[in-house]
Chain A
């Protein structure tokens, strides 16, 4: 982990200058947003589905230890093994040891955000185990030596020209045609599936009453990873459990539409334990690794715990104006966008900028899109409040004082308006002062006319347009 503090502001500014990546991101995000919106529009009962999903997630969180106990018992009864990991390092260490002890050399991996969170690939590589990402997007990212930029579509930011060059360089075969490039990846990965000693997958939903690991995907790489190799390791974070199949149905009712606009993905798989007596394939050994990494502590937080409702559909990323502008990498964390800005600072090992919660415009598009009813802006506001309370910033304290005293605010604004309407001079004269630092990276609308005076005309215009700006 880097010792230099990560600077979201700098990374975001750099991302904004990269016009090519922004164009690719803009096109891809626009596409996925349309797919989701079309699917939501086609569901007149979306609000009902959402309410049911919220209820299931809240039910789960209120019974979490009981459900995990039940899940463990059922997995073991189905011939599987259950392991618990307190943090990222112990989780990746545990899996690495488990595979090393069994002489595993080649692992095929399904896309899993928690495996990114625990730094699994680096740990496996250090132990001399080749771990191949088999989701096409993850495969591209792995070949390029990058990190995913989206929790659902990890290579969202990579153009087809870049993929083409990457394949030529790394695989010795390429094309400029997307179906042909997909075929090249299929051929290359197929050898890995058939030869792998173990498969590692994530888990979208664990079902306690049956001991089942549920995974959703379109490509079939997870199905292959969990079916062909003699060992299957599934990794989940502890909040991913639900109690019953009926609860799982409620989540499955809203997850694919919110994620990709599909009613169901091509492959929805329910894996329960190891292969049974008389079966000739499926894993002889199945291991479920349950990762905490700060979540059990978060569960005790009455305000912020609602982020644990998240079902990782990615809808909040796709509607977020900040994510759309800077892309996933600028956040410097495993989980970007609104859900990431809430969750990342609360995890035990967080490589990103502690000020990530400030990367939000409070437009609330995320909260509106969230199938689990998470109010991201409110949670971000709470995080900001806590961060500010901890490390007091004189500029913020001054602003807060002004904001609470209208007369003081008007006076300060009037002074600013007279001498420095765009607040540029202050920043230039004393760039390293608290005020200078605060102003850097922020753009002000200008203080030429007080908002209180502009408000009347604005309100008239808004009411003429029926409330739409």
Chain B
């Protein structure tokens, strides 16, 4: 029955697009000069209008101070982190532990990750890329990079290395085309929001209520 539906649908589609009918091509978005802006100034300017806060760190020490400052200011006692070289570059796990935060490593998470993170204060991740035109964080799932980490805890800190800045979404899609697609790629621009009641804009519907981005200027 499964094949019957498929065959019937394809037969109609083939008839509707039979050889001899036009096969128009489509242009891609042209690359224009000035579309290549990828610096922290542009990124942070857009990002902060969307809700997240931003701190620029010029050294690993500054990044550690920014992270420790954020957890102290937000009453963070528990956190979960990704496995990511940019986290290692700032010794994020040790920094959090030093600030008195109990940190869950990916390998300590149970089979159903999301429910286990419901009571965790903070998720710490590092991006695959960040888009300057739209202030977007690109989070890609992988072993050791659980989807629930930047999604379920009430706070999210993302590390953005300077070398990962891209101008815009078309540039990201170019990049994604160069390797097999991860199981999930999330392009997150700002803090979850809604306008579903009388079009009144409200921030913080699902997911983290606050997002803090630390720019790693040397990396």
Contact = CB atoms under 8 A, between A and B. Distances in A.
Contact of A253 (B29, B141, B177): B29
Interface string B1-31: 0100110111011111100011111111100
Given A65-B17, A219-B192, A281-B114, A250 B28 contact: yes
A135 interface: yes
B206 A264 contact: no
B61 interface: no
A219 B113 contact: no
A230 B190 CA distance: 27
A84 B10 CA distance: 10
A137 to B, nearest CB: 4
Q: Is the interface of B mostly helix, strand, loop or mixed?
A: loop
Contacts of A31: 199
B16 A299 contact: yes
Contacts of B50: 266
Interface string A304-331: 0100000000000000000000000000
Contacts of A212: 181
A10 interface: no
A58 B190 contact: no
B173 A186 contact: no
A178 B136 contact: no
Given A84-B5, A212-B181, A263-B133, A155 B115 contact: no
B183 A296 contact: no
Contacts of A69: 10
A462 to B, nearest CB: 35
Contact of B8 (A61, A86, A156, A260): A86
A125 interface: no
Contacts of A272: 181-185
B152 to A, nearest CB: 8
B22 A62 contact: yes
A206 interface: no
Interface string A395-432: 00000000000000000000000000000000000000
Contact of A280 (B109, B176, B200): B109
B205 interface: yes
A91 to B, nearest CB: 9
Given A186-B205, A250-B28, A280 B186 contact: no
A155 B106 CA distance: 39
B151 interface: yes
Interface in B129-147: 133-134, 136, 141-144, 146-147
Contacts of B192: 218-220, 266-267
A44 interface: no
Contact of A269 (B133, B184, B206): B184
A134 B192 CA distance: 13
B150 to A, nearest CB: 10
Contacts of A135: 196
Contacts of B109: 280-281
B187 A264 contact: yes
B189 A140 contact: no
A280 B181 CA distance: 17
B26 A52 contact: yes
A249 B181 contact: no
Contact of B205 (A160, A220, A246, A274): A220
B13 A299 contact: yes
A212 B22 CA distance: 27
Contacts of A134: 206
A252 B168 CA distance: 12
Contact of A182 (B5, B113, B197): B197
A153 B136 CA distance: 24
A273 interface: yes
B24 A62 contact: yes
A282 B205 contact: no
A63 B23 contact: yes
A84 B9 contact: yes
B27 A263 contact: no
B12 A300 contact: yes
B49 to A, nearest CB: 11
A330 B207 CA distance: 35
B115 A276 contact: no
A296 B12 contact: yes
B48 to A, nearest CB: 15
A275 interface: yes
A369 interface: no
Interface string A136-178: 1100100000000000011110111001000000000000001
A117 interface: no
A55 interface: yes
Contacts of B181: 78, 210-212, 270, 272
A245 interface: yes
Q: Which 10 A-B pairs have the closest CB atoms?
A: A278-B143, A228-B114, A137-B196, A296-B12, A281-B113, A220-B206, A300-B16, A55-B26, A299-B16, A220-B207
Interface of B: 2, 5-6, 8-10, 12-17, 21-29, 50, 106, 109, 111-115, 118, 133-134, 136, 141-144, 146-148, 151-152, 169-170, 173-174, 176-177, 181-200, 202, 204-207
Given A64-B16, A136-B196, 16 more contacts: A27-B198, A28-B198, A134-B206, A210-B176, A220-B205, A223-B147, A224-B207, A227-B151, A250-B28, A267-B188, A268-B136, A269-B184, A272-B181, A272-B184, A279-B141, A281-B113
26 contacts: A55-B26, A59-B24, A65-B10, A136-B194, A154-B196, A158-B197, A160-B197, A193-B206, A194-B118, A194-B152, A212-B181, A218-B195, A219-B192, A219-B193, A228-B148, A228-B151, A238-B9, A248-B173, A264-B134, A265-B189, A266-B50, A267-B186, A267-B189, A270-B186, A296-B9, A299-B13
Interface of A: 24, 27-28, 31-32, 52, 55-56, 58-59, 61-65, 68-69, 78-79, 83-86, 90, 134-137, 140, 153-156, 158-160, 163, 178-179, 181-183, 185-186, 189-190, 193-195, 209-212, 218-221, 223-224, 226-228, 230, 238, 244-250, 252-253, 260, 263-282, 290, 292, 296-297, 299-300, 305
